[in-house]
């Protein structure tokens, strides 16, 4: 049965979930409070060992292939995505975002081949997007008709990813971005402030279930997709600039609160989020939220998720929940903090994660055409920095609208596979050393502001009895100095091996200045190197 907005209205208050159905998922040691989650949760070893996840951040917004947030910006006159939509598909009053969903066929999606590439690249977990801000469910959704089994590809995208990941021996996660769709999508109820269609409202304003009779979306209500009018731009806005200012102020802020006066939206989000957890039993759930969605509602969901994990795994905690910008140490013990496109300054006591992408989150063909992707060097440098500070990297390599990778992305994944095959020993199943590293390059929290690393920038990890030194760039003169190993205060080095070089150890001297090494010539295709150090008192 599809849960309609009429069924949902009045079912839950913004303050909590008293009217939500109780179930087995409520039984277990976790209560829906930050203290209960923090006191009972321990990040599972599989996540601490994994270090690298790959993310299929893929949905209908990838169809136009012009980048992020298409479903919002195509309804904002003056934006490049509005211009693209007008030129390619027609005016948004006539051809709205729901027609993009109808064009999403995933005709070249080969998930088995992609999963093989992800595994060869070194991924230990794979994350699939379950729901983005466009309010579309990429799974066999019990509560929402606008899902990928009914329209678009007509396939259970999340279910297929989950099955293949587990068949490959990888952990599987889902990402949930839908709590923001209530304000994000309000542009679909707007209008052009200028031009020949000034004042004519876009498709979300006029379409009803009855309009779908005999069409590809027969039986569905467009209002269930667009969310209903909650913060609609008033009549009379006369300029593109004024309309942008209105949306920036009223719908463009990153709001973590429920929509005022619309409890149905909160319950719909909750039931769909619980549905995907119960149906696919993900090892990780990524919430695109500061903290958890809707306050107490998010706490209730995560407590249920943790309690379900106890049921699934015989009383063992084996799952991860991600949230951003956590405010307290209690919150960082309760869930794993995610840092979007950013780093941390030093070793964190609790495991954490950076999520980033080699390009835009949704596929951007113009970015590909101008060679704008991150390089392999940048990514493995970021991975090394993150792992040295007790973190994981969740990396998106965006799929095209048809489900394929472009040639540059294939080349990137092949290069990542070669690097992790040679140097993965210094990354996977490691732990931080006494310090994360050394070097002159200033730390920048925002990845876009990070200065290039130099050969003097080093990162350290530990695995077993070995200390690993990840050299962020290959020294042009072949000489390397590790000042953190000066004298014998941090241990005595007996042997140094360059990973990927068979047999013969490197020559070195350990002096009061540091560990001095001479490196062989750099292979042309190696973005950075890793050393294995053996000795006494190193770890």
**Tens digits of per-residue pLDDT, 10-55?**
333 333 444 454 443 458 999 999 999 999 999 999 999 999 999 9
Of the candidates 431, 427, 457, 428, the one whose C-alpha atom is nearest the C-alpha of residue 442 is: 457
CB distance 260 to 219 below 8 Å = no
**What is the spatial distance between Cα 92 and Cα 94, in angstroms, rounded to a whole number?**
5
pLDDT of residue 2: 36
pLDDT of residue 18: 44
pLDDT of residue 3: 37
| Residue 235: count of CB within 10 angstroms of its CB | 8
Q: What is the pLDDT of the chain when averaged over all its residues?
A: 94
**What is the spatial distance between Cα 204 and Cα 207, in angstroms, rounded to a whole number?**
6
* Parallel/antiparallel/unpaired status of strands 391-396 and 352-357: parallel
pLDDT of residue 443: 83
**What is the spatial distance between Cα 197 and Cα 91, in angstroms, rounded to a whole number?**
9
CB distance 474 to 455 below 8 Å = yes
Residues 6+ apart with CB under 8 A from 510: 485, 487, 488, 492, 493, 516
How far from 462 is each of 218, 352, 447, 502, 528, CA to CA, in Å?
58, 17, 25, 21, 18
3-state secondary structure 483-530: HHHCCCCCCEEEEEEECCCCCCCCCEEECCCCEEEECCCCCCCCCCEE
pLDDT of residue 17: 45
Domains and CATH numbers, the chain: 5-340 (3.20.20.80), 431-536 (2.60.40.1180)
CB distance 225 to 146 below 8 Å = yes
pLDDT of residue 26: 59
Q: 415: helix, coil or strand? A: helix
pLDDT of residue 524: 72
**What is the spatial distance between Cα 375 and Cα 387, in angstroms, rounded to a whole number?**
19
Torsion angles phi and psi, residue 122, rounded to 5: 110, 0
3-state secondary structure 135-204: CCECCCCCCCCCECCCCCCCCCHHHHHHHHHHHCCCEEEEEECHHHHHHHHHHHHCEECCCCCECCECHH
**What is the spatial distance between Cα 330 and Cα 326, in angstroms, rounded to a whole number?**
9
Of the candidates 176, 180, 175, the one whose C-alpha atom is nearest the C-alpha of residue 259 is: 180
CB distance 337 to 352 below 8 Å = yes
**What is the spatial distance between Cα 309 and Cα 538, in angstroms, rounded to a whole number?**
37
**What is the spatial distance between Cα 318 and Cα 315, in angstroms, rounded to a whole number?**
9
**What is the spatial distance between Cα 448 and Cα 374, in angstroms, rounded to a whole number?**
11
pLDDT of residue 526: 83
Q: Using the structure block, give the residue that is written with the tokens 């292979």.
A: 523
Tokens at 485, concatenated: 């190993």
pLDDT of residue 125: 98
How far from 394 is each of 112, 136, 160, 338, 495, CA to CA, in Å?
20, 22, 20, 9, 33
The beta-strand segments (E) located in 190-324 are: 284-290, 320-324
Tokens at 78, concatenated: 């003056």
The residues facing 508 across adjacent strands are 517
Q: What is the DSSP string of 41-68?
A: ----HHHHHH-EEEEE--SGGGSS-B-T
pLDDT of residue 20: 52
H helix or E strand, kind and range, residue 382: helix 376-388
- In the predicted model, residues of the chain with pLDDT beneath 70 are 1-26
Q: First-to-last CA distance in the chain?
A: 58
pLDDT of residue 525: 77
């Amino acid at each position: 049965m599809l849960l309609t907005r009429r069924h949902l209205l009045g079912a839950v208050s913004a303050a909590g979930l008293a009217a939500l159905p109780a179930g087995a998922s409520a039984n277990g040691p976790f209560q829906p409070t930050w203290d209960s989650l923090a006191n009972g949760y321990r990040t599972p070893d599989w996540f601490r060992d994994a270090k690298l996840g790959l993310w299929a951040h893929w949905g209908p917004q990838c169809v136009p292939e012009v980048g992020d947030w298409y479903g919002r910006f195509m309804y904002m006159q003056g934006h490049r995505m509005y211009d693209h939509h007008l030129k390619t598909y027609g005016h948004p009053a006539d051809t709205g975002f729901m027609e993009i969903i109808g064009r999403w066929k995933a005709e070249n999606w080969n998930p088995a081949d992609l999963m093989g590439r992800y595994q060869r690249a070194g991924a230990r977990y794979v994350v699939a997007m379950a729901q983005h801000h466009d309010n579309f469910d990429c799974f066999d959704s019990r509560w929402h008709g606008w899902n990928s089994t009914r329209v678009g590809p007509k396939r259970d995208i999340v279910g297929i990813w989950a099955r293949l990941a587990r068949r490959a021996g990888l952990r599987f996660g889902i990402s949930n971005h839908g709590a923001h769709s209530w304000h994000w999508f309000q542009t679909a109820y707007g209008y052009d402030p200028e031009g020949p269609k000034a004042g004519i409202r876009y498709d979300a304003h006029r379409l009803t279930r009855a309009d779908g009779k005999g069409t590809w979306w027969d039986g569905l209500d467009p209002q269930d997709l667009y969310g209903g009018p909650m913060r609609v731009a008033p009549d009379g806005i006369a300029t593109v600039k004024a309309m942008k200012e209105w949306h920036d102020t009223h719908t463009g802020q990153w709001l973590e609160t429920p929509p005022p006066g619309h409890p149905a939206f909160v319950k719909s989000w909750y039931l769909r989020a619980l549905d995907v957890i119960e149906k696919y039993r993900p090892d990780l759930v990524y919430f695109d939220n500061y903290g958890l969605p809707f306050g107490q509602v998010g706490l209730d969901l995560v407590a249920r998720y943790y309690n379900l994990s106890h049921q699934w795994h015989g009383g063992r905690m084996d799952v991860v929940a991600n949230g951003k910008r956590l405010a307290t140490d209690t919150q960082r013990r309760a869930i794993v903090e995610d840092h979007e496109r950013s780093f941390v300054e030093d070793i964190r006591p609790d495991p954490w994660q950076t999520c980033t992408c080699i390009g835009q989150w949704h596929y951007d063909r113009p970015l590909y055409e101008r060679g704008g992707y991150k390089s392999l060097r940048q990514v493995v440098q970021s991975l090394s920095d993150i792992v040295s500070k007790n973190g994981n990297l969740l990396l998106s390599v965006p799929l095209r609208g048809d489900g394929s990778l472009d040639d540059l992305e294939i080349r990137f994944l092949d290069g990542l596979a070669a690097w992790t095959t040679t140097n993965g020993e210094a990354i996977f199943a490691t732990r931080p050393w006494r310090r994360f590293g050394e070097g002159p390059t200033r730390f920048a929290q925002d990845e876009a502001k990070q200065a290039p690393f130099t050969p003097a920038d080093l990162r350290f990890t530990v695995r077993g009895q070995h200390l690993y030194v990840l050299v962020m760039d290959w020294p042009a003169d072949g000489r390397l100095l590790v000042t953190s190993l000066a004298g014998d205060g941090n241990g005595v080095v007996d042997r140094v091996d360059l990973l990927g070089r068979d047999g013969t150890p490197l020559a070195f001297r350990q002096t009061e200045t540091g560990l001095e090494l001479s490196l062989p010539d750099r292979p042309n295709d190696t973005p950075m190197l890793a050393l294995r150090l053996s000795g006494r008192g190193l770890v």
